[in-house]
Amino acid sequence: MAEFIFERYNYWAIILLMMVGLYVTFQAENMIKRLVGLGVFQTSVFLFYITLSKIRGGSAPILFGHDYPKEHGGGHGADDGHGGDAAHAPAAHGGGEGVDELGRPYVDGYLEPGHIGGEPLHELYSNPLPHVLILTAIVVGVATLAVGLAIVVRIRESYGTIEMDEVRLADSAHAETEDSVEKA
């Protein structure tokens, strides 16, 4: 049991960050502290998704020249078709055959992880999609924080404070004076 807990220490840290952020967001009366709590909560969610997407032993999905199979290119080297007459040259390949050969392994059955076109990759790669989504979420989080801070500045200009309880008291006092003016 202890081994299970210690092997997943990063999840426990993420849960702790999430609970701290949630607590500060709901309990703080200061509006800036609420925004900080929201930022801590968002960061814990980002860390959670990044932790889930990491594969043990996996590397970044960047393919170098030695990562491709030996016959990669099929005679299409760097110099093939890249001359002055390339626009007028006949096609060096038949499109129909290549499509059938590439599509067949996926139609016939499932491939093992790490295989592309039936040949194994030499390295195991992590999935880049969660990282890209989190990068987008970080940008949205920064924009949300900027809007929240702009609203807090306007509230400070209008009410003279950023404490929630004082803003509520000022609102209720203003509503009472409006009601008494309407009755009179």
Give the C-alpha separation, 125 to 131, whole Å.
Answer: 13
| Tokens linked to 178 | 């409006």
pLDDT per residue of the chain (184 residues) written in tens, 0 to 9: 888 888 888 999 999 999 999 999 999 999 999 999 999 999 999 999 988 887 877 777 776 666 555 555 555 555 555 555 555 555 555 554 444 444 444 444 555 555 555 555 566 778 888 889 999 999 999 999 999 999 999 999 999 999 999 999 999 998 898 888 888 7
Give 160-178 pLDDT, tens digit per residue.
999 999 999 999 998 898 8
Global pTM? Answer: 0.63
Compute and round to an integer the Cα radius of gyration of the chain. Answer: 29
Give 79-111 pLDDT, tens digit per residue.
555 555 555 555 555 554 444 444 444 444 555
- Domains annotated for the chain, with CATH where assigned, are 1-56+123-184 (1.10.287.3510)
